[in-house]
Structure 1
Amino acid sequence: MILEALGSAVLGLVLAWAALQRLSHRLPVRALVLATGIAGALFGDFVTHSALGSGTLLPSLIGAAVVSAASVSLLLRPAGRLRRRSVPA
């Protein structure tokens, strides 16, 4: 179980690092993104492990990757300026 959690944390770190490399201009501070990736992966692993039980390494890692990616995606800012169109009265 310790290795599963460690593997999930490393997976979350790798996913967050990849997001920083690809979308650094749209993400906040590096430390926040890395911490969010790790925390999301650990939470995803916990939820998947709780739902499926022990002995399911691959589904737990997939659950960790999904929740980690979703958590990091919540930190994304819009690409450009928000253009608001005024509605004619």
Structure 2
Amino acid sequence: MILETLGSVVLGLALAWAALRSLSPRLPSRRAVLGTGALGALFGAGLTHSVLGPGHAAATLVGSVLISAVTLSLLLRPRRRRLSRSAAA
């Protein structure tokens, strides 16, 4: 269980780092993104482990990455679009 926990945190941080590298203008502060990635992965690992039970380490890590990706996607801000004068009127 401890290896699943550590592995999920590492994967969550890696996913958050990748999101920061590619989507940094659309995300809040670095600290919030890294924390959300790690905590989302921990929650995902706990949820997946409780659903599947012991002995499914690979599936637990996959579940933790999926939940981490979902929580990170909630942080995305929409792209800023400029309205033309005809659309604003």
- Counterpart of 1:40 in structure 2 is 40
Give the TM-score, by structure 1 length.
Answer: 0.90
**What displacement does 1:11 show?**
0.3
Q: Which runs of 5+ in 1 are unaligned?
A: none
Give the TM-score, by structure 2 length.
Answer: 0.90
Q: Say whether residues 1:24 and 2:32 are aligned partners.
A: no
Q: What is the RMSD of the two structures over their aligned residues, measured on CA atoms?
A: 1.5
More helix by share: 2
Runs of 4+ in 1 over 2 A off after TM superposition: none
Q: Which runs of 5+ in 2 are unaligned?
A: none
**CA–CA distance in 1 between the matches of 2:31 and 2:3?**
24
Question: Kindly tell me: are residues 82 and 39 of structure 1, through their superposed partners in 2, closer, same or farther at Cα, counting changes over 3 Å?
Answer: farther
Aligned pairs for 1:45-60 (under 5 A) are 45-60=45-60
